[in-house]
Structure 1
């Protein structure tokens, strides 16, 4: 396995990697929260922060968002679902990875969204 740490992003605070690449070329991105130093952000700004960080982590693994095959999103409240759909469509465009959206009562640091991805590295 290859452990990924994107340059410019803080290292994980816990005992995990930002992403792990398997020998077969699958990239598993750990759950990504909005950048902690951004203070209280709108839900839309939190989504933008999360997807920007995901893109940076994927780039460090040799991928782009176009290589994502599966996304799991955790939303602190089902009322954010329409805004998440809009943000997700804006990021992925015509690309349509498999997806699960899981409403939860709360997320760490009181953030409103967390995203976990699986991608396939081009050429393994």
Structure 2
């Protein structure tokens, strides 16, 4: 299955070398944040302009500067979840990170690490 991962310029070389290994799912609420580890965020939408999560004005760089094309092998698709499915059993305050965002129907979470050999292409987006 072909999906995409967007990242800022300062992270692309580390990802190309080590793969996607640092992804986390934030659990927001109750005045603190915790995380579910090994959650690599992917999307079926290749257009950087459609990534509603990338609109933050709190950081001084583009979160969609590079688009990585990731091929999940058939033997590993069982570790891939639609983000809307992934959150369905979480508390409502934890689901808000996915639900209600434009384009979230295209988001996926791969539960595990994505090795560099699954990254088939790396492109500068101009975003």
* TM-score category of the 2 structures, normalised to the smaller one: under 0.3
TM-score (ref. length: structure 1): 0.28
Larger RCO: 1 or 2 (CA < 8 Å, sep 6+): 2
Q: Between Structure 1 and Structure 2, which shows a larger proportion of strand residues?
A: 2
Q: Between Structure 1 and Structure 2, which shows a larger proportion of helix residues?
A: 1
